[in-house]
Structure 1
Amino acid sequence: MVRCFLYLLLLLLPVFAGAQKVLSIKVDGSINPASAAFIKSGIDRAAESNAQCLIIRLNTPGGLLKSTRVIVSDILESPVPVVVYVSPGGAHAGSAGVFITMAAHIAAMAPSTNIGAAHPVSSQGHMDSTMNSKATNDAAAFIRSIAEKRKRNLDWAEDAVRNSVSITEIEALDKRVVDLVSPSEKELLKQIDGRSIETVTGTAVLKTADAEVEHIEMSLFERILNMISDPNMAYILMMLGFYGIMFELYNPSTMVPGIVGVICLILAFYSMHTLPVNYAGLALIIFAIILFILELKIVSNGLLGVGAVVSLVLGSIMLIRTESALEFARISWSVIISTVLVTSAFFLGIIGLGLKAQKAKVTTGVEGLVGKIGEVIAPLEPAGMVRVHGELWSAESTSGLITKGAKVKVTAVNNLKLLVEQVDI
Structure 2
Amino acid sequence: MAHTKSPHRAMMFVVAMLLLSIAAWTGAAQPSPAEQQQPALLHLEIRDAIGPATSSFFLRALERAQERNVRLVVLEMDTPGGLDSAMREMIQAILASPVPVVIYISPSGARAASAGTYLLYASHVAAMAPATNLGAATPVEIGGPSEPKKDQPRDAQKPEQPDNASERKAVNDAVSLIRGLAELRDRNADWGEAAVRQAVSLTARAALEQKVIDVVATDLQDLLSQLEGRKIKTRYGVVQLATKDLVREEFRADWRTKLLSIVTNPNVAYLLMLVGVYGLLLEGYNPGSFAPGVAGAVCLLLALYAFQILSVNYAGLALIALGIALIVAEAFAPSFGALGVGGVVAFTIGSIMLFDGQVPGFRIARGLIGGVAVTAAIGMLLTAGMFMRSRRARVATGVEQMLQEHAVALEDFDSAGRVDIRGEIWRAVTRTPVKKGARLKVLRVDGLTLEVAPGEQ
TM-score exceeds 0.5: yes
Query: Per-residue displacement from partner, 1:379-411 (whole Å, max 9, x unpaired)?
Result: 46476543333333344668x555333334x36
The 8 Å contact of residues 319 and 350 in structure 2, kept in 1 or not, is answered as: yes
**Structure-1 residue corresponding to 2:243:** 208
Separation (CA, whole Å) in 1 of partners of 2:175 and 2:233 = 25
Which secondary structure state, in structure 2, belongs to the residue aligned with residue 423 of structure 1? coil
SS where residue 327 of structure 2 aligns? Answer: helix
Partner of 2:220: 185
Amino acid aligned to 1:388: I
Cα distance between partner residues in 2 of 1:157 and 1:135: 15
Match of 2:204 in 1: 169
Residue 84 of structure 1: aligned partner: 103
- The answer to whether the 8 Å contact 1:122/1:330 transfers is no
8 Å CA contact 1:367–1:413 kept in 2: the answer is no
Q: Is the 8 A contact 1:124 1:318 kept in 2?
A: yes
Within 5 Å, give how 1:59-78 maps onto structure 2: 59-78=78-97
**Relative contact order: is structure 1 or structure 2 higher (C-alpha 8 Å, sep ≥ 6)?**
1
CA–CA distance in structure 2, aligned partners of residues 252 and 193 of structure 1: 69
- Segments of 5+ residues of structure 1 without an aligned counterpart are 1-14
Q: Cα–Cα, structure 1 residues 111 and 380, in superposed 2: closer, same or farther, change >3 Å?
A: farther
* Partner AA of 1:113 in structure 2: T
Q: Go from structure 1 to structure 2 and tell me whether the alpha carbon gap of 1:36 and 1:379 turns closer, same or farther (over 3 Å shift).
A: same
Instruction: State the 1:17 CA deviation.
Output: 12
- Cα deviation for residue 253 of structure 1 reads 0.7
Alignment of 1:132 with 2:163, yes or no, is no
Q: Does the Cα contact within 8 Å between 1:292 and 1:305 map onto a contact in 2?
A: yes
Q: 1:194 aligns with which of 210, 229, 233?
A: 229
Which one of the candidate residues 400, 404, 421 is aligned to 2:436?
A: 404
Report the residue type matching 2:299 in the other structure: C
Corresponding position of 1:276: 311
Output one character per residue of 1:204-240: Cα deviation in whole Å (capped at 9) or x when no partner: 1111122111111111112212222223322222222
The whole-number CA distance in structure 1 between the counterparts of 2:110 and 2:360 is 18
Structure 2: how far apart are the matches of 1:232 and 1:280? Answer: 18
Q: Following superposition of structure 1 onto structure 2, how do residues 165-314 of structure 1 map, counting pairs within 5 Å?
A: 165-314=200-349
What secondary structure is seen at the aligned counterpart in 1 of 2:292?
helix
Return closer, same or farther for 1:48/1:405 CA change in 2, 3 Å cut-off: closer
**1:64 Cα shift?**
0.6
Task: Tell me which amino acid in the other structure corresponds to 1:403.
Answer: K
SS where residue 46 of structure 1 aligns?
helix
The residue type equivalent to 1:350 in the other structure is T
For residues 94 and 60 of structure 1, the distance between their equivalents in structure 2, rounded to whole angstroms, comes to 6
Partner letter of residue 302 of structure 1? Answer: G
Would you say the 8 A contact 1:22–1:55 is kept in 2? yes
Rounded Cα–Cα distance in structure 2 between residues aligned with 1:273 and 1:158: 31
Question: Which amino acid is the alignment partner of residue 137 of structure 1?
Answer: N
Separation in structure 1 between the aligned mates of residue 112 and residue 274 of structure 2, nearest angstrom = 32
- Corresponding letter in the other structure for 2:231: S
Q: Distance in 1 between matches of 2:450 and 2:429?
A: 7
Is contact 1:284–1:315 with CA below 8 Å preserved after alignment?
A: yes
Q: Helix, strand or coil for the counterpart of 1:378?
A: coil
TM-superposed CA distance for 1:125, in Å, is: 4.7
Residue in 2 that maps onto 1:99: 118
Partner of 1:112: 131
The CA deviation at 1:314 is 3.1
Counterpart of 2:355, as a letter, is I
Aligned to 1:377: 410
Larger mean CA deviation between 114-123 and 132-141 belongs to 114-123
TM-score by length of 1: 0.85
Q: Which moved more, 1:195-204 or 1:247-256?
A: 247-256
> Shift in Å at residue 351 of structure 1?
3.9
Match of 2:5 in 1: none
The alpha-carbon distance between structure 1 residues 176 and 420, as it changes in their structure 2 partners (threshold 3 A), is farther
RMSD: 3.0
What is the CA-CA distance between 1:202 and the residue it aligns to? Answer: 0.8
Deviations 1:38-57 (A, max 9, x none): 11111121122121111111
Letter in 2 for 1:414: V
- Aligned pairs, number: 406
Corresponding residue number in structure 1 for 2:4: none
1:332 is the counterpart of 2:351: no
Q: One-letter code of the match for 1:204?
A: V
1:359 aligns with 2:392: yes
Given that 1:232 and 1:331 are in contact with CA atoms closer than 8 Å, whether structure 2 keeps it comes out as: yes
- Give the conservation status (yes or no) of the 8 Å contact 1:288–1:307: yes
- In structure 2, the CA distance between the partners of 1:380 and 1:42, relative to structure 1 (3 Å rule), is same
Partner of 1:315: 350
Q: Which stretch has the larger CA shift, 69-78 or 384-393?
A: 384-393
The counterpart of 1:414, out of the listed 439, 445, 453, is 445
Equivalent pair of 2:142/2:356 in contact (CA under 8 Å):
no
